[in-house]
Structure 1
Amino acid sequence: MSTPYDLPTDTSKIKEFEWDDHYDFPRDLVGYGENSFDPKWPGGAKIAVSFVINYEEGAEHTVLNGDMHSETHLWEAPGGAPKIQERAVNIESEYDYGSRSGVWRLFRLFNKFNYKYTLYAVGKAIEDNPAVGISSVKNGHDVASHAYRWIDYANMPPEQEKAYIKKEIETIAKICGEPPKGWYYGRLSSRSQALVWEVYKEMGVPLLWDSDSYADDLPYWVDVPAEKNEKDPKGMLMIPYSYDCNDYKFNVPTGFGSPTHFYDHVKNAFDTLYEEGCEGSPKMMTIALHCRCIGKPGRFMALKRIVEYIASKENVWVATRTQIAEHFREKFPYEKGYLAPGVKRAEASNTINAWPAHKAAPV
């Protein structure tokens, strides 16, 4: 990948990266390795399928939420520059379609097939439309956190981010009856995962899983840096997410050109993972959805065909992310330094001191 075009010409003025023992999680470039890992899905299932509905409408960048600029991400006419201190009414109404129409089209489909989804709920979004969270709970679905605002957190001060995390937990608990058991940011900072763990611990709320990872087709444990010196560390269970089978790709130049492309891509991914499961290496698959994307009538039928196709297969476990986490935690409890019992983590500690390409190597 090329160097971002907006870096300063004189890179010597850029502050060198410093590893933070409290926030930074080591990389693992090995994972489960060639022989994979058998998650022993319930009933001998060959694959676990997780449908995720991202509910962000009303929590995006907009001056109505006190932001400096309007949102340009994930709508039907991408590419425009943010409007500073001005409403982007056309973009707002595109998001409004998701909350007014798209979300209910998706809910009806999954309720019809009795397939449980995980709702990635942005707190501000369900504050504006509580019926979305209430309906999900009423019908037995999983409501997880997608942060309080659907904005970039990269440059937010840690204390402000912690306040947002706490407000999100409280908001979902108030509307849905209990705090979220899982968390997914998507637009996180390098500190976010550690801060989420920290706030949950301070509030005495159980955090069963985190999904800010795209690293695998299976759940896995990580050690939490802040628990380094604790006698009884709990670790953090990662339930990997996916940008691959994700309807956001309708809105990017390299993404899906039509509903048929979406159907073919998701079906191929399912078939590959299902085949691996039949060969003795069961996997997990995430199908990520957005109300304003796949909720459009012309695209929706592709999702309906996917659901019908999956329903026609045997030995498939369609589960929420919390159900997957609960299964994994019961069967494969956390052990410090291990992805799962018997599979030691291979932390790439040498990457911390790897020599940067833009500097001369030491003699």
Structure 2
Amino acid sequence: MTAELFDYSPIVDRPRLTWPGGKRVAFYVGLNVETFLPDRPSTSIWPLELSPDPLNAGWRDYGARVGIWRTIDILDKYGVRASTLLNSLVTEKNPQIIKAGVERDWSWLAHGRTNSVLHTGLEPAQEREVLAEIVDTIESATGRRPKGWMGPALTETPNTPALLAELGLEYVLDWTNDDQPYELNVPGMLSVPYTVELNDLGLFLRGLTGPDFLQMVKDQYDVLRADAEHTGRVMALALHPFVIGQPFRAKYLDLALEYVTSQSDVWLTTSDKIAAHYRSTI
């Protein structure tokens, strides 16, 4: 399937990619704004199968109640607009978050209905209905139709990109295999870089600390900037409010954004703008 969805294109063989203002690195924050069903398996801090499950469910819910607001304060401090990976059910459960994002002109990407349900096992007709409901719900709540998609846990079916194109979407984040956008073999659809490496959920749940996270952000930027002497690169930073929004971690997000936003060669942007700029070059 992947051979049909995209072609192999080594980055050293491509035309030079430039960013606005001659910047070397396009940087965006992928802010995962999610909701979870209490009776379904979901992202967990402890491998338990309980119903109710206060330990895991409470940990996740901290993000919507507290962590998101601490994260917003830090993004605001450095003038970073979120590229918001939004479960459509959040529009019903946590409308205050939607209001805060609209006020800040966030970009909105469709991220399934809930992260308790992976986007798999759907026949085309059923998937078309599911995707349309997700996209329409987000557009109604935010006033802006999503241009991008990332599936819950980066899941797709073989038909997802084509069905998204039918709905007017322009890019996906699920294929984390490049430092630049590229065209998919679906008319009108791009892949835009996301990251499962520089991702708070994977990093901190493997036991890394705040100082580790800060150093990794710095190293990621420094190496991409050096690489971009020849062609522009994308740096994504993936955040989950129930992880990075914990007080002892948020401190290091603040320091990381202080570093990145102080760089003269960085384009602080959104995934929407990265896709649009890349499209203008092809």
Tell me the TM-score normalised to structure 1 length.
0.72
Partner of 1:16: none
* Within-5 A mapping of 1:288-307: 288-307=238-257
In structure 1, give the amino acid aligned to 2:193: P
In structure 2, give the amino acid aligned to 1:244: E
Q: Is the 8 A contact 1:165 1:196 kept in 2?
A: no
Q: Is the 8 A contact 2:244 2:250 kept in 1?
A: yes
Partner of 1:270: 221
Offset of residue 210 of structure 1: 1.1
Partner of 1:319: 269
In structure 1, what is the Cα distance between the partners aligned to 2:89 and 2:3?
28
In structure 1, give the amino acid aligned to 2:70: R
Task: Indicate yes or no: 2:121 matched with 1:121.
Answer: no
Q: Is the 8 A contact 1:256 1:262 kept in 2?
A: no
CA shift in 2, pair 1:330/1:319, >3 Å: same
Q: Is the 8 A contact 1:154 1:188 kept in 2?
A: no
Residue deviations 1:236-276, cap 9 Å, x none?
11102110100012454xx3421111111121111100111
* Within-5 A mapping of 1:1-363: 25-26=4-5, 28=7, 30-57=8-35, 60-63=36-39, 69-71=40-42, 73=43, 75=44, 77-80=45-48, 82-83=49-50, 86-150=51-115, 151-187=117-153, 191=157, 194-198=159-163, 200-201=165-166, 205-224=167-186, 234-252=187-205, 255-277=206-228, 279-332=229-282
In structure 2, give the amino acid aligned to 1:275: A
Offset of residue 328 of structure 1: 0.9
- Identical positions, percent: 25
In structure 1, what is the Cα distance between the partners aligned to 2:15 and 2:152?
26
Offset of residue 174 of structure 1: 1.2
Tell me the TM-score normalised to structure 2 length.
0.91
In structure 2, what is the Cα distance between the partners aligned to 1:50 and 1:38?
21
Q: Is the 8 A contact 2:165 2:189 kept in 1?
A: no
| Structure 2: tracts of 5 or more residues without a match | none
In structure 1, what is the Cα distance between the partners aligned to 2:23 and 2:155?
36
In structure 2, what is the Cα distance between the partners aligned to 1:109 and 1:283?
24
In structure 1, what is the Cα distance between the partners aligned to 2:66 and 2:218?
26
In structure 2, what is the Cα distance between the partners aligned to 1:155 and 1:300?
37
Counting matched residue pairs gives: 281
Q: Mean Cα displacement is larger for which, 305-314 or 182-191? A: 182-191
Q: Is the 8 A contact 2:210 2:248 kept in 1?
A: yes
In structure 2, give the amino acid aligned to 1:154: T
Q: Is the 8 A contact 1:242 1:288 kept in 2?
A: yes
Q: Mean Cα displacement is larger for which, 205-214 or 264-273? A: 205-214
Q: Mean Cα displacement is larger for which, 124-133 or 322-331? A: 124-133
Question: Per residue, is there more helix in 1 or in 2?
Answer: 2
SS in 1 for 2:59: helix
Q: Is the 8 A contact 1:51 1:287 kept in 2?
A: yes
Offset of residue 79 of structure 1: 2.6
Q: Is the 8 A contact 1:78 1:251 kept in 2?
A: no
In structure 1, what is the Cα distance between the partners aligned to 2:272 and 2:265?
20
In structure 2, what is the Cα distance between the partners aligned to 1:163 and 1:323?
28
Q: Is the 8 A contact 2:88 2:137 kept in 1?
A: yes
Offset of residue 31 of structure 1: 1.9
SS in 1 for 2:4: coil
Q: Mean Cα displacement is larger for which, 268-277 or 126-135? A: 126-135
In structure 2, what is the Cα distance between the partners aligned to 1:157 and 1:61?
23
Partner of 1:351: none
Q: Is the 8 A contact 2:114 2:152 kept in 1?
A: no
Higher relative contact order (CA 8 A, sep 6+): 2
Offset of residue 171 of structure 1: 1.0
Q: Is the 8 A contact 2:83 2:270 kept in 1?
A: yes
Task: Calculate the aligned-residue CA RMSD, in Å.
Answer: 2.1
